[in-house]
């Protein structure tokens, strides 16, 4: 009986990881479904090897959501900075926009690094689930 529930829990963990892996392509909707699944299954997996996987998925969701909000705020601020710089330098050459573009470039770099972190946590967890190891 214990083997059946462990196999079932493994299936739920794999499903949650799969939902997270396709989340960037689905505008994050599947990550929302995945984190709800992780919250629902976490208590039932208490004491087992899959409890840590659900905790990892919950952590990844909340960190990624915070990074997304900061990224959106930074993009708005960087875009506003470029717009203001263009308006102030009008009709000049517009070379004063470098600060806004630099901010947007650094924001893009931070986004790429965050995406690497996101997939690193998910692939590492997925491999550990496939090997029946805790996160």
Q: Are 86 and 94 in contact (CB under 8 A)?
A: yes
pLDDT score, position 125: 95
Domain hosting 20: range is 2-129
State if pTM tops 0.75.
Answer: yes
Structural domain includes residue 135? no
| 27 secondary structure, DSSP code | T
Q: Are 12 and 41 in contact (CB under 8 A)?
A: yes
The ranges of the chain with pLDDT < 70 are 1-4, 89-97, 99-100
Structural domain includes residue 104? yes
Structural domain includes residue 34? yes
The number of domains in the chain is 1
Q: Are 92 and 56 in contact (CB under 8 A)?
A: no
Structural domain includes residue 134? no
Structural domain includes residue 81? yes
């Amino acid at each position: 009986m214990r083997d059946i529930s462990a196999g079932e829990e493994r299936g739920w963990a794999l499903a949650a990881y799969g939902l997270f892996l396709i989340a960037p392509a689905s505008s994050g909707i599947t990550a929302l479904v995945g984190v709800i699944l992780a919250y629902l299954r976490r208590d039932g997996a208490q004491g087992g090897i899959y409890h840590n996987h659900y905790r990892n998925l919950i952590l990844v969701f909340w960190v990624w959501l915070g990074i997304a909000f900061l990224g959106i705020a930074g993009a708005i601020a960087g875009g506003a900075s470029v717009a203001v710089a263009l308006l102030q330098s009008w009709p000049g050459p517009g070379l004063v926009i470098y600060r806004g573009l630099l901010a947007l470039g650094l924001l893009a770099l931070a986004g790429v690094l965050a995406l690497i972190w996101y997939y690193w946590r998910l692939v590492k967890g997925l491999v550990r689930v496939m090997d029946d190891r805790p996160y």
